């Protein structure tokens, strides 16, 4: 049974969703605020987090980033206000795997949960068409270790750097295609996820953030090819 953790200050949602999702093989634990989440999340036995953006005591975006640091492999679906594209984009950049605008149909949330979990299992096996280098779940390059199953980027001293969902998908694409020029259009294909709104600017922003974590030098691991896109200039094993 899939174990979900729902954080929402609406008592109606906390009352309705557990009964409905139980019909889809999901066990839902509910929490009313961010403080409860911060006390609960370090404990194990959670498969997915459903997080409301607007909470009475905490900022949902900050909570999403914090949750990614505490449990990097935990999938996150954010519940956002209708017609709030900026918050949705920021949520995805902070590490959310998907979002659902309120009001929503419980049936759609159930479908999104299943899709996110399927994507997570697929990611552990490597991107489609990635070739033999993606057969393992742990990739190593230039002194770094990228554990795709746990969604962890580890430096040579063993320190773990958190990755947002966009950074995770981008690094997966680069590791699967080392030393190959990848246009922005190709990177959009390789990193697109259901429910996300991505464009050239999203790719450039994710590259900038990932580059800052890997190597701040402009000519470092991720090279910009004028008129072509980007190249991950290192051996991956």
What integer best gives the mean pLDDT of the chain?
80
CATH number of 2-123: 3.40.50.2300
202, 177, 176: which is closest to 188 by C-alpha?
202
Q: Alpha-carbon distance 86 to 98, whole Å? A: 14
pTM: 0.57
- Pinpoint the residues of the chain covered by CATH 1.10.10.10: 127-232
Residue 160 CA to residue 147 CA, distance in Å, equals: 10
Q: How many residues in total does the chain contain?
A: 237
Helix/strand/coil (H/E/C) assignment for every residue in 102-150:
ECCCHHHHHHHHHHHHHHHHHHHHCCCCCCHHHCCCEEEECCEEEECCC
Tokens of 163: 């990755």
Q: Which of 168-177, 179-188, 191-200 has the lowest mean pLDDT?
A: 191-200
Task: Please tell me whether residue 81 adopts helix, strand or coil conformation.
Answer: strand
Say whether pLDDT at 35 is over 60. Answer: yes
Question: Does domain 127-232 correspond to CATH entry 3.20.20.100?
Answer: no
- Residue spans of beta strands (DSSP E) within the chain: 2-7, 26-31, 48-52, 76-81, 98-102, 138-141, 144-147, 152-154, 160-161, 181-182, 222-225, 229-232
Looking at the chain, the domain(s) classified CATH 3.40.50.2300 span: 2-123
pLDDT tens-digit series, residues 108-120? 999 989 888 877 6
């Amino acid at each position: 049974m899939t174990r979900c953790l729902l954080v929402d200050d609406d008592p109606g949602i906390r009352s309705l969703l557990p009964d409905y999702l139980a019909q889809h093989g999901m066990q839902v634990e509910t929490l009313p605020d961010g403080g409860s989440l911060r006390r609960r999340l370090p404990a194990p036995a959670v498969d997915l987090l459903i997080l409301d953006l607007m909470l009475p005591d905490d900022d949902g975006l900050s909570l999403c980033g914090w949750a990614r640091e505490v449990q990097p492999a935990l999938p996150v679906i954010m519940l956002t206000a209708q017609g709030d594209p900026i918050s949705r984009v920021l949520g995805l950049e902070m590490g959310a795997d998907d979002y659902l605008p309120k009001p929503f149909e419980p049936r759609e949330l159930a479908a999104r949960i299943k899709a996110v979990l399927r994507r997570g299992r697929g990611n552990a096996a490597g991107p489609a068409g990635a070739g033999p280098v993606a057969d393992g779940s742990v990739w190593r390059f230039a002194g770094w270790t990228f554990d795709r199953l746990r969604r962890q980027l580890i430096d040579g001293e063993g320190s773990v750097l958190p990755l947002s969902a966009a950074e995770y998908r981008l690094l997966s694409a680069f590791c699967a295609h080392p030393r190959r020029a990848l246009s922005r259009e190709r990177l959009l294909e390789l990193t697109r996820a259901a429910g996300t709104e991505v464009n050239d600017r999203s790719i450039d922003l994710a590259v900038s953030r990932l580059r800052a974590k890997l190597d701040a030098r402009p000519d470092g691991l991720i090279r910009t090819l004028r008129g072509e896109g980007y190249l991950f200039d290192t051996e991956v094993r």
